[in-house]
Structure 1
Amino acid sequence: MGGQKAIETGSIVTVDYKFFLLNRQKEKKTYLVLEDANKKEKKYCFYRTIVGGLAGFDRFISIEDFTDALNGYLIDDTCEFGADVFVSKSRRKGKGERVSMNLNTIMYKHTWKVTDFSKFDTPSCSQPFTAADQKYCTWKLVLYPRGLGIGKGSHLSVFLHVYEPENQLPIGSKILAEYTIRIMDQIHGKHRSIKGKKWFSAPFWSWGHYQFITQEANAACLKKDSCILEVEICILGLSIPGISTT
């Protein structure tokens, strides 16, 4: 999308698309085609609140295959890409609400390694990460090594946050996610985990556990003063207020 102003206020643009990469070596030109495996359920939505409006594929083609002259994609330092795009627009009206379920039933896994764990006295945040191809929603893990709330001083507290929701989703949006947060036991393999199935929405953009694991038990899981956390996320539904297709 051509920037934030490319979308009118109150509008949502939904896009189905294919990308093409030309094989220029063969006499009869052929294309490498990449598209969503399930277009009915995997459409990309752009909102005015999202700056930039980007969608695509993290792994279109490997560098090795792309640069191999035998494949014909890169000839004389030149390549040719194409795109087939279908666009539909929606507008938010009144207080209506649409709930889309089962947007992505694939469980996405993210691993976060915290080094020099014993030196942390303040909360630590993972780098933001995206669950599979659900690019409208980015997440982060927040670890309180000395505990928070009822876990302060005795436990580790761990929470899963939606990262900067005000920049990703229209006001009033909700995300239904099933998740598992796990602390890896690097010594004995007896990992500790919690599971949840929650709606993430304002003001509750984070869920987790104040008393995830005692500090003594966690110390027995560490190796070379590093703590490894793992989270699995499955996005089950998305609720966007005031959408009617035009």
Structure 2
Amino acid sequence: MVTNFVSVVLSFLCHNSILITHQAKCTTGALRSTSEAPPAHYILNIQQFSALTKHNVERYESNEFETGGYKWKLVIHPNGNKTKNAGEFLSIYLAITDTASLTPGWEVYATFRIFLLDQINDTYLKVEDEKTNGRRFHRLRTEWGFDQFISFKTFNDPNNAYLVGDNCVFGAEVFVRKERSKGKTESLSMVKDAVSYKNTWKINNYSKLNADGESSHVFSVGDHKWKVQLYPNGKGGIGGYISLNLALAEPQNFPSGTKILVEFTLLMLDQLERRHHYGKASYWFSASKPEWGWQRFISHGIFFKTNRGLLFKDGCCIEAEVAIHGESTVFG
């Protein structure tokens, strides 16, 4: 908690109920208070928060929400914003999005509040900028917020109930003249101990593959269907390489606003000496970004070497290891 501050207690009647607010000026240029009123515009529920740090997610961007005629998102640095030397603090920011649709030279002045739920007392820590006339969002500055939103010591202290059962709840309010849209709720669910699933694709007549690309059979991991995409001559006409990607099998059926964090390995097996060729990556898959991998997965020179066994008797074998580490879903 911030020390050496003046505490002001306000009590007033609001919607036939009493709301008590404790407000203090933070030494980092923010006003901190506690309130029973939940955030009006956005709620972000994160399950298994520690998985974000475990898997080195340096920056998590929420889905968009709209208020005041503009689109916004919350940006969370689970390990603190390293560029701001905030390693002992949770860093949270508000970012304006969809800026390509705005007119040239756009400027938006907005005041905002970021919330963190005390899950035992059902009250919120509310942090807002002391600059009461709002912050200026523009092309060169699309984010404002708090490098030192809350210390990890305070955040992790069970007596504060901000992190309960490795779950936490954040929220946001943004005010730009007037509000035109209802709020949305996003739920980010991280998997504490993700299970890796393995799928093997055996190609028997490699020389007869479609030069523009071939797909493996569809396989399931979690609640989603996947396939491996192979491009014998490289995706996008790069030439001299084989491209290999993991892809959502039915992106057209993937819910809008949903994205999943997937860690995957694609291996091309050496059928003679087990000198396998592989690539490993983590990626947020969504309906708009349904495929990810390597344009230059392996060169033709290496793949067609007879002593490697990657291509043996006109056949090759590709193995996919896939684990889902988190899923974000938007409601409302």
Q: Secondary structure at the match of 1:217?
A: helix
Q: Name the amino acid aligned to 1:99.
A: L
* 1:232 counterpart = 2:321: yes
Contact 2:255 2:287 in 1 (8 A): no
Q: CA deviation at 1:152?
A: 2.5
State how far apart, in whole Å, the 1-side matches of 2:194 and 2:251 are.
21
Q: Secondary structure at the match of 1:180?
A: strand
Contact 1:122 1:144 in 2 (8 A): yes
Q: CA deviation at 1:187?
A: 2.2
Alignment root-mean-square deviation, CA: 1.7
State how far apart, in whole Å, the 2-side matches of 1:231 and 1:196 are.
12
Q: Secondary structure at the match of 1:166?
A: helix
Alignment-derived partner of residue 127 in structure 1: 217
Q: Pick the structure with greater CA Rg.
A: 2
Q: CA deviation at 1:115?
A: 1.5
Q: Name the amino acid aligned to 2:258.
A: S
State how far apart, in whole Å, the 2-side matches of 1:108 and 1:230 are.
10
Contact 1:104 1:235 in 2 (8 A): no
* 1:202 counterpart = 2:202: no
Q: CA deviation at 1:199?
A: 0.5
The normalised TM-score by structure 2 is 0.42
Alignment-derived partner of residue 144 in structure 1: 231
Q: CA deviation at 1:201?
A: 1.4
Q: CA deviation at 1:212?
A: 0.2
Contact 1:112 1:229 in 2 (8 A): yes
State how far apart, in whole Å, the 2-side matches of 1:159 and 1:142 are.
5
Contact 1:124 1:142 in 2 (8 A): yes
* 1:106 counterpart = 2:195: yes
Change (3 A) 1:126 1:103: farther
Q: Name the amino acid aligned to 2:239.
A: G
Residues 200-234 of structure 1: CA deviation (Å, up to 9, x unaligned)? 01321111000000012112311110111001001
State how far apart, in whole Å, the 2-side matches of 1:214 and 1:189 are.
18
Q: CA deviation at 1:95?
A: 2.2
Alignment-derived partner of residue 163 in structure 1: 249
Which of 217, 223, 239 matches 2:302? 217
Following TM superposition, where does structure 1 have runs of at least 4 consecutive aligned residues deviating by more than 4 angstroms?
none
Which of 261, 267, 281 matches 1:182? 267
Q: Structure 2, unaligned stretches of length 5 or more?
A: 1-181
Change (3 A) 1:140 1:104: farther
Contact 2:252 2:287 in 1 (8 A): no
Q: CA deviation at 1:162?
A: 0.8
State how far apart, in whole Å, the 2-side matches of 1:170 and 1:94 are.
18
Q: Name the amino acid aligned to 2:188.
A: V
Moved more, 98-107 or 157-166: 98-107
The higher-RCO structure (CA 8 Å, 6+ apart) is: 1
State how far apart, in whole Å, the 2-side matches of 1:196 and 1:229 are.
16
Residues 80-119 of structure 1: CA deviation (Å, up to 9, x unaligned)? xxxxxxxxxxxxx842200011076111000001111012
Contact 2:268 2:277 in 1 (8 A): yes
* 1:116 counterpart = 2:205: yes
Contact 2:247 2:292 in 1 (8 A): yes
Change (3 A) 1:171 1:152: same
Q: Structure 1, unaligned stretches of length 5 or more?
A: 1-92
Q: Percent identity?
A: 39
